[in-house]
Amino acid sequence: MSKIIIAVVALIAIAIGWFILNPGDTFDYVVNIDQEVTQLETELADLDSQVAAGTLTSEQATAAKVRIITRLDAINKAATDSEQLQLTPEQRTQLANGLLRLKDALVRYQATLDVVEDTAVEADVTAQLKSGQSGGSRHLTLIVADTIDDVEETVQDSIQGYETDAELNTQIDAAVTEAEAEEAMEEEMDSEESMDGSEESMDDSEAEMTDEEDGMMSEEEPMQEKEMSEGDMEASSEAEIRVVQ
């Protein structure tokens, strides 16, 4: 009986050790990141072809931006979830490669992302995003850059002695600076349009007030004339009475 108990305990210990050394859940997270990055690369390549051919419509750009944001959210979530579990050396390498491919995609397809951003309809993007998702009004380049920052934090925490590619990071910083400048310019233009609209509204209100004042003055004039006529009649009657007397 004791031998059976010892054998069962030994099997349980072996099973626990296997799960510790082979964390299947973390493998799924890293594989998910790898798959999402692969699909993102494919989609950006297709969009690049459409942009080059001049066939990208606003509807296609809107749908593409929604898909890209959704994919980036999935990459970010998988990276965050993987932090809770232990990664194997192979998984760490795969995660670092996924981050590098994500950076390459941003640099390679920056112009395509700009065209998609300019062509997509912001209101439709926001409406099509699922509840809880955000970023419909943000520039695509900045959304990709934010995801890169988040994944890089995970890689730095998971891989001891991880070193970034300084040259690639410089290119990404330049892309982010350009996107931020474009976003600031659009916000300034929107602000100016809003101010112009407010001024037009004030002008219309002032014009309406002027029309009302003119109307009131027009109504007062006949009344004044009537009062003057009544005054003249009274003066004439008084003059006649004095003559009779």
Structural domain span for residue 96: 2-164
- Any domain includes 175: no
- Any domain includes 43: yes
The model's pLDDT over 108-150, given as tens digits with 9 standing for 90+, comes to 999 999 999 999 999 999 999 987 776 788 999 999 999 999 9
Please report the pLDDT score of residue 74 as a whole number: 94
**Both tokens assigned to 222:** 């006949």
- Any domain includes 170: no
Please report the pLDDT score of residue 131 as a whole number: 75
Q: Percentage of residues in the chain with pLDDT exceeding 70?
A: 68
Q: Percentage of residues in the chain with pLDDT exceeding 90?
A: 53
Distance CA 42, CA 46 (A): 6
- Any domain includes 226: no
User: Would you say residue 3 has pLDDT above 80?
Assistant: no
- Any domain includes 210: no
- Any domain includes 205: no
The model's pLDDT over 185-223, given as tens digits with 9 standing for 90+, comes to 888 887 777 776 666 666 666 666 666 666 666 665 555
The contacts of residue 37 (CB under 8 Å, 6+ apart) are 75, 98, 101, 102, 105
- Any domain includes 185: no
- Any domain includes 118: yes
Q: What angle do CA 143, 132, 117 make, to 5 degrees?
A: 30
pTM of the model: 0.69
CA end-to-end distance (rounded Å), the chain: 151
The model's pLDDT over 57-82, given as tens digits with 9 standing for 90+, comes to 999 999 999 999 999 999 999 999 98
Total domain count, the chain: 1
User: Would you say residue 83 has pLDDT above 90?
Assistant: no
Cα–Cα separations (whole angstroms), residue 170 to 74, 153, 163, 167, 174: 26, 17, 14, 5, 6
